[in-house]
Amino acid sequence: MVDGKAQKVQEDRPLRKHETGNPIWTCEGQGLKRLLKAGTAWLERHMEAVNSLNVFPVPDGDTGTNMLLTMQAALEEIANSPEPSVSAIAHAAAHGALMGARGNSGVILSQILRGAARDLDRKHEFNAADLASFMKEATTTAYKGVIKPVEGTILTVVREAAEAAVTVAAEEEDLRLVLEKIVKAAKESVARTPSLLPVLAEAGVVDAGGQGLFIIMEGMLRYIRGETVEVDFALETAVDLHVPSEDEYGYDVQFIIQGQDMNLEEIRDTLAAMGESTLVVGDSTTIKVHIHTEEPGTPLNYGASIGSLSKIIVENMQEQYQEFILSQARPAVTSPVTSEEICGIATVVVAQGPGLVRVFESLGASAVVPGGQTMNPSTEELLKAAENLTDQVIILPNNSNIILAAQQAQKLSEKNIRVVPTKTMPQGVSALLAFNYQADLDTNARVMERAAGEVQTVEITTATRSVQLNGVKVKKGEVIGLLNDSLAVSGRSPEQVIEGVFRQMNVEEYEIITIYYGESVAQEEAEALAARISQDYPEQEIELVNGGQPHYLYIISAE
């Protein structure tokens, strides 16, 4: 397989620790075979975990299975091949993967192998520079297979891993070190997927295909390092969708319901009443459920009454919690990764209401300063929040009255602070979603400001005094609707006002409507409102979030 001592290693015996110190300069056919085997074995161990992440493009929970079947088909093709040349092995593996490709990620995986094989054509072995080259070609080939590549998927992960390969190979020749860097880049890339693909952020997961690819590469690295597959449980905890807090007990239940003409909304509502942290995604034939409950039997029985169940996972959260405590030194991949950890730019967000704070935290805000309408944080509070962070900080004030304080903080601080003048919570959410981990501070500030400008904000509140503004007459106590921070409509009920604002802004032209309901609104009330809106606007995707904000009954974003 490789130069130096490692060449003496028997096929089925992993490298020992003391043998791993030597650099590895090249890899030939049989070495590649063993790498592919190791990657596949590691993927097999994590198949279910990858399945549980699958929400895009169709949430059918089979990404891990499909990728594994594709890799196994590739391995079958090369299992008995004594070919010494890396070109022959790569071509055979690519052919096997092509023939056995299953599912979206399987097809993409087969294209990645195909591109790699093509670049390795006629090569007897590969070195670090060749590795970078074939990963680049693999990326190009993978991207060619689709008209509109969706970022935040396996495509992004292979591209960013290849970019890392090119950078590292320019100054490093030891394949082990190069692979280490590639795997690290892949891991970081996977962690960023929710910021690129909103459906992942909504479901609180990283991309399944991307994670699968990372696991394959990690398996290869583990093989080179001589680590056995038995020792690491980091990945299992890493794919927990939720890190339970100390006061949470009960069970983490996941399953898939398959049936016909299922009513997603109704099922979601029913399940929501059975537990906490409920995640119900899918369509009329396939629904994926994730719920935390004291009685795992209840949602399972309910699911079985609707259709047939598969991929049932029931885990004791208290055990998970203990494991989590033990492994806390290792950050979980899907726990919110703050922007600061990745690229040295921190974000400070002003938000009010526990739900909205959670939203911002899950999007990677480094610090959340409590505040909003009628409760503006001081310049000092903002400075204090920025104090413990890195030298580059972006502040999202999320209220027109706080922008000034933020700008003051910018002037007073020794740090490099930029203020993205967001005036509403939804603008802040859009801005934070646009955050680009690869861009520098100024570019990010610009991109985030533009993103904030693209979202429409509707705020519903009660008038505190009688006024006439923008040609709208308002009596004290009436419900008023603000569109992008200026008064638009007044009326008797929130429903009426929302309808009025929606008509004024031509809400049909937007795709996603997110409703954050405030602390004074009951959940049932908000759900009824959301149901009515989705009935009136069937083309739009309606999302309901418990924002828990004071002052505003509802904050609605349309984009």
Partner 1 sequence: MTEKTRLGKIEVSPTAIANLASRSVLESYGVVGMSSRSLGSGLADLLRGDSHKRGIEVRLEGDEIIIDLYVIIEYGTRISAVAHNIMSNVKFGVEKSLGLPVAQVNVHVRGVRVSSED
Report in angstroms how near the CB of residue 427 gets to partner 1 at its nearest.
25
Q: Could you tell me how many residues of this chain bind partner 1 (CB under 8 A)?
A: 34
Closest to partner 1 by CB, 282 vs 353, is 282
57 near partner 1 (CB under 8 A) = yes
CA-CA-CA-CA dihedral for 488, 490, 495, 499, to nearest 10: -40
414 binds partner 1 (CB under 8 A): no
* Residue 211 near partner 1 by CB under 8 A: no
Using CB under 8 A, pick the residue from 104, 352, 410, 514 that binds partner 1.
104
**Cα–Cα distance measured from residue 419 to residue 383, given in angstroms and rounded to the nearest whole number:** 12
Per CB under 8 A, does 87 bind partner 1?
no
Integer Cα distance of 61 and 77 in angstroms: 27
84 touches partner 1 by CB under 8 A: no
Helix (H) or strand (E) holding 178: helix 175-196
CB burial of residue 338 (10 Å; 0-12, 13-18, 19+): middle
- As a whole number of angstroms, the distance between CA 96 and CA 26 comes to 24
Q: What angle do CA 356, 252, 429 make, to 5 degrees?
A: 20
Using CB under 8 A as the binding rule, whether residue 86 contacts partner 1 is answered as no
We find the least distance from the C-beta atom of residue 126 to partner 1, in angstroms, to be 19
Query: Among the residues of 388-472, which ranges form H helices?
Result: 403-412, 425-433, 441-454
* Smallest gap from residue 150 Cβ to partner 1 (A): 5
Q: Mask of contacts with partner 1, 15-54, x by CB under 8 A? A: ----------------------------------------
Instruction: Give the residue with the Cβ less far from partner 1, 446 or 532.
Output: 532
**The tokens of 510 are what?**
């937007």
Is 306 among the residues that bind partner 1 (CB under 8 A)?
no
What Cα–Cα distance (Å) separates residue 539 from each residue in 368, 512, 515, 530, 535? 34, 9, 16, 14, 9
Of 174, 536, 543, 559, which one interacts with partner 1 (CB under 8 A)? 536
Binding mask 148-177 for partner 1 (x = CB under 8 A): x-x---------------------------
When the beta carbons of 264 and 412 are compared against partner 1, the nearer one is 264
CB of 282 to partner 1, least distance (A): 8
Residues from 233 through 272 that contact partner 1 (CB under 8 A):
261
Task: Identify the helix (H) or strand (E) that includes residue 383.
Answer: helix 379-387
Three-state SS string over 333-369 comes to CCCCCCHHHHHCEEEEEEECCHHHHHHHHHCCCCEEE
Map 221-279 to HEC letters. HHHHHCCCCCCCCHHHHHCCCCCCCCCCCCEEEEEEEECCCCCHHHHHHHHHCCCEEEE
Binding piece for partner 1, criterion CB under 8 A, among 99-107, 156-164, 406-414, 464-472:
99-107
Among 23, 145, 370, 500, binds partner 1 (CB under 8 A): 145
Q: Which residues pair with 558 in a beta bridge?
A: 456, 513
Instruction: For residue 141, state whether it binds partner 1 (rule: CB under 8 A).
Output: yes
Nearer to partner 1, 284 or 493 (CB): 284
- Asked whether 181 and 168 are in contact (CB, 8 A), the reply is yes
> Taking the complex as a whole, how short is the minimal distance between the CB of residue 493 and partner 1, in angstroms?
15
User: By C-beta, is 102 or 176 nearer to partner 1?
Assistant: 102
- H or E element, residue 29: helix 29-45
| Cis bond upstream, residue 57 (ω within 30) | yes
Q: Which long-range contacts (CB under 8 A, 24 or more apart) does 199-204 make?
A: 199/55, 199/56, 200/55, 200/56, 200/152, 201/362, 201/363, 201/433, 202/543, 203/55, 203/59, 203/241, 203/279, 203/281, 204/241, 204/242, 204/279, 204/334, 204/362
Q: Rule CB under 8 A: is residue 503 a binding residue for partner 1?
A: no
Does 111 help bind partner 1 (rule: CB under 8 A)? Answer: yes
Shortest gap between Cβ of 55 and partner 1 (angstroms)? 11
Contacting residue, 27, 53, 88, 98, with partner 1 by CB under 8 A: 98
Backbone angles phi, psi at 555, to 5 degrees: -120, 125
Which stretch in 314-322, 432-440, 479-487, 537-545 sits in contact with partner 1 by CB under 8 A? 537-545
Stretch that binds partner 1, among 146-154, 382-390, 402-410, 480-488 (CB under 8 A): 146-154
The least CB distance from residue 246 to partner 1, in Å, is: 37
The answer to whether residue 522 forms part of the interface with partner 1 (CB under 8 A) is no
The residues in 482-501 that bind partner 1, with binding defined as CB under 8 A, are none
What's at 99, amino acid-wise?
M
User: Which range of residues in 94-102, 322-330, 392-400, 468-476 is near partner 1 by CB under 8 A?
Assistant: 94-102
Between helices 86-100 and 29-45, what is the axis angle to 10°? 40
Q: Does residue 541 belong to the site contacting partner 1 (CB under 8 A)?
A: yes
Q: Output the DSSP codes for 73-85.
A: HHHHHHTT-----
Does 110 help bind partner 1 (rule: CB under 8 A)?
Answer: yes
> Contact between 106 and partner 1 (CB under 8 A)?
yes
- Residue 539 lies near partner 1 (rule: CB under 8 A): yes
Q: State the nearest-atom distance from the C-beta of 284 to partner 1, in Å.
A: 5
Binding of partner 1 by 442 (CB under 8 A): no
Stretch that binds partner 1, among 57-65, 171-179, 420-428, 482-490 (CB under 8 A): 57-65
Letter for the amino acid at 494? P
Least distance in Å: CB of 495 to partner 1? 12
Torsion angles phi and psi, residue 493, rounded to 5: -120, 155
DSSP label of 375: B
Q: Per-residue x/- mask for partner 1, residues 278 to 297, rule CB under 8 A?
A: -----xx-------------
User: For residue 362, how many other CB atoms are within 10 A of its CB?
Assistant: 16
Which residue, 106 or 491, is less far from partner 1 as judged by CB?
106
Number of helical (H) and strand (E) elements in the chain, helices listed first: 22, 18
Residues that bind partner 1 (CB under 8 A): 57-60, 98-104, 106-108, 110-111, 114, 118, 141, 144-148, 150, 261, 283-284, 534-536, 538-539, 541
